Structure 1
C-alpha cells in the first residue's frame, strides 16, 4: 500500500497536469476566437493585458489572421484644394464606403502601394512613411540616400513595399536613376522594417517606364525597351536581394501601351491594342506561371469603353477583387469587368469621383510597425 504522502504527491501531479491541459485548452479556444474577430477589434484587445498582447503580436498568429481576412478595395484621393488626403474603402459589392483615419504627417501625400494591410506613403520631397490604417500606427522611415526628383509621377524614382513569405519580413525597395544623365542604369536600396538604415544592393540595366509591382516576394518593373525585340521585365527577389530578367511573351505586336499588374496572385502583363497615336479599343491580360517564371497564358480579352484619341492610356491601376477585374482608366473613373458574365465589355463601376484617386487592394491587419510599441502602452 502506498503511504498518504505518496498519494498526495500523485494527486498533486495529476492536478497540475489537468490544470495545464485546461490552460492549454483555454488558450487554444481563445486563439480560435481571436482568429474570428476583425482586425480592428484585435487592435483594441492588445491593450487588455500582457498575455493578450504577446499572443496578438506573435508573428505566426498575425499572419494566420491575415490569411483569413477579407480583401477590400482602397480608393486613396488627394483633395489638394483643401490640402488633405482621403482614404475610402469599398467594403462590399453594394458600394458601401467608410473612411480610414490617418495621422497628417506630410502634405501632398500619395500611396506608392499596399501590402498586407500596410500602406507605403510618399510625398513630393521623397519622404517615406508606412501606415497601418487599421491600428492607426505609423512609421516614418529614414530619408533614402537619393531623393532628388522624387514625385508621384516619376517612373525613375519610386518605392515599393513588399513581403518575404519565408522570413515574414516586410521590405521597401527604392529604385532611382544612375548618376549620369541619360543613363539606363537603375540603382536600388532596401529598407527592412526593424532596421535603422537603408542598404544599397546594386544596380540593373534598364530604366523603368512605369512604377513597379510587388507579387509573391518579388518586385517587377517594365523597362523602356518595351516596343522592340529586347523588351524585358526586370525583377528583384526581396529575400535573396538579387536581380533577374524576364523576357516579354512573344506577340505579333506591342504597338499599344502595356503595364504590369497582379491578378489572382500572379504577375500579369496588360497590353492595349493600337498604335501610340491611335485609339485603344481592347486590352489583353497575359498571366505568368508562378512555377517556371517563363510560361505566359492569355487569360482575358476586354473591350474598352470609347476613349478620346488624344488620351494617353496606360492601365496602371488594374486589380483583382471580389472575383472581378477593376480598372482605373482616368484619374476620377473606376471601371469593372466580370469574367463570369457573357460580356467582354468594361463597365463603369461607380460615379465619377470629386477628387483624383488611386486604387489598391487592402486587407485590414494587425501587423505591427514597431515591435515595442504595444509593450510601452500597457506598462
Structure 2
C-alpha cells in the first residue's frame, strides 16, 4: 500500500487503534509520529465526556468515557493505583493530574504514556477543590507546545495577588512568570491557548476575568457583562470551543431554579450572548451550586450536577428543563471534556529517525 493510501486509512481510525499500530513496523511508526499527522488527526476528533472517579475505594482512580448516546462506557488506561489522584484539566487528549502532595503528572490515557513533572517551586498540598493552588494544562497553537501553568497564592497573607509558574513539556524546569492582582474565586479554564479565571478582591467577587496567554505568557484582563444581565452565581467553562459563563439564578433563599450559558463573542472578545437557558431540577440544594463542566454532543448540552449525576439539555426540544441523562453512579466523579489522541509526551517522538 502506498504511503498516501496508508495515511488516509490511518486518518479514519480512532486514536486508541493508532496507538497499537505504532508498534507494527518502522514505516507505520514514521507516519504515526509525524507531528503534522498527529495534529491533523486530533483536529478530526470528537469531544467526549471523561468521568474520573474520586473515591479511593472504587478502584483508586478509574478513568471512563461516555462514548455515545446509548450510554455505553469503557475503561481507558489509567494511572497506577498506588496513589489517589485527581484531574486538574484535559487538553488535546492529555490529562493534567495532581495529588495532595502537590505532585503533577501528565497522562495520555489513550496511549498509556505518562510524564511525571519535577515538583513545582510552590509545593504546598493541593486538592481538586482548591481555588488558590491549582494547575492548568494548555496548548500553544503557534509553537505546538504544551505547557502546565501553576497558580498559587502570594507569600504575604494580606496580599490578593496570584503568582504563576510555567512548565513547558520537554524543557524540564519550572519558570516563574510573575504575579497578577486578583485571587481566583475558583479554578480556571483553558480555551484556545488562554487560561481564564474569575477573580476576587478581599473576599468580594469582582466583575472581571484574568487571562493568561499560554504562548506569550502575558496577563490581561477581561470584564464580565453587566451584573444586571445575569445576577447570579457564576463559573467559567468551555463550550463549542468558546469561553462561556455558567450562571445560576440569584435567589437569596431556596434552591436555584434556572441556569444560563453566556458565550463570549469570538470577534470582539468583549460582548456576551446568552446561548442557552434551561430550568434546573428541583432537587438542587443550594443557590451556591455552580456546575463546572459542560459538553456539546449530538446536539445536546451535558452538565454534571452534584457529585454523582449527569443531566442533559436538548435545545431542539420544546422543554426548557434539564433532564437526567445517566442514573446516579455508585461513586463520586469529576467530569472533563476529552478527545482521544496520540499526542506524545516524549520529545524524541518528534525527532526520532526511522532507520
Q: TM-score band (shorter)?
A: over 0.9
| Cα distance, 1:312 vs structure 2 | 3.6
Q: CA separation in 1, counterparts of 2:85 and 2:205?
A: 38
Provide closer, same or farther for how the CA distance between residues 230 and 131 of structure 1 changes in structure 2, counting only shifts above 3 A.
closer
- Kept in 1: contact 2:252–2:287 (CA 8 A): no
The reply to whether residue 342 of structure 1 matches residue 318 of structure 2 is: yes
The reply to whether residue 104 of structure 1 matches residue 83 of structure 2 is: no
The reply to whether residue 214 of structure 1 matches residue 179 of structure 2 is: no
The reply to whether residue 365 of structure 1 matches residue 341 of structure 2 is: yes
2:292 to 311, 316, 330: 316
Which residue is equivalent to 2:263?
287
Which residue is equivalent to 2:93?
117
Which residue is equivalent to 1:181?
157
| Cα distance, 1:50 vs structure 2 | 2.6
- Normalization by structure 1: what TM-score? 0.88
Equivalent residue of 2:255, what SS? Answer: coil
Provide closer, same or farther for how the CA distance between residues 226 and 291 of structure 1 changes in structure 2, counting only shifts above 3 A.
farther
Structure with the higher helix share, 1 or 2: 1
Question: In the TM superposition, what are the counterparts of 1:212-291 in structure 2 within 5 Å?
Answer: 212-224=188-200, 230-252=206-228, 255-291=231-267
1:356 to 332, 336, 341: 332
- Kept in 2: contact 1:261–1:319 (CA 8 A): no
1:202 to 178, 181, 200: 178
- Kept in 1: contact 2:101–2:123 (CA 8 A): yes
Which residue is equivalent to 1:20?
none
| Cα distance, 1:263 vs structure 2 | 0.9
Question: In the TM superposition, what are the counterparts of 1:9-48 in structure 2 within 5 Å?
Answer: 26-48=2-24
Deviations 1:327-377 (A, max 9, x none): 11201111111111111100111010111101111111111100336999x
The reply to whether residue 61 of structure 1 matches residue 34 of structure 2 is: no
| Cα distance, 1:140 vs structure 2 | 0.5
Which residue is equivalent to 1:193?
169
The reply to whether residue 172 of structure 1 matches residue 172 of structure 2 is: no
Which residue is equivalent to 2:128?
152
| Cα distance, 1:72 vs structure 2 | 1.8
Which residue is equivalent to 2:70?
94
Q: CA separation in 2, counterparts of 1:49 and 1:371?
A: 20
- Kept in 1: contact 2:249–2:257 (CA 8 A): yes
Q: CA separation in 2, counterparts of 1:331 and 1:76?
A: 11
Matched pairs, number = 354
**RMSD of the alignment, in Å?**
2.3
Deviations 1:92-115 (A, max 9, x none): 110011011223165221111111
Which residue is equivalent to 1:7?
none
Equivalent residue of 1:73, what SS? Answer: strand
Query: Which ranges of structure 2 fall in alignment gaps of 5 or more residues?
Result: none
| Cα distance, 1:219 vs structure 2 | 0.4
Provide closer, same or farther for how the CA distance between residues 106 and 175 of structure 1 changes in structure 2, counting only shifts above 3 A.
farther
| Cα distance, 1:34 vs structure 2 | 1.2
Q: CA separation in 2, counterparts of 1:273 and 1:226?
A: 24
- Normalization by structure 2: what TM-score? 0.93
Q: CA separation in 2, counterparts of 1:230 and 1:126?
A: 28
Provide closer, same or farther for how the CA distance between residues 225 and 315 of structure 1 changes in structure 2, counting only shifts above 3 A.
farther
Equivalent residue of 1:224, what SS? Answer: strand
| Cα distance, 1:291 vs structure 2 | 2.2
Q: CA separation in 2, counterparts of 1:142 and 1:228?
A: 35
The reply to whether residue 325 of structure 1 matches residue 321 of structure 2 is: no
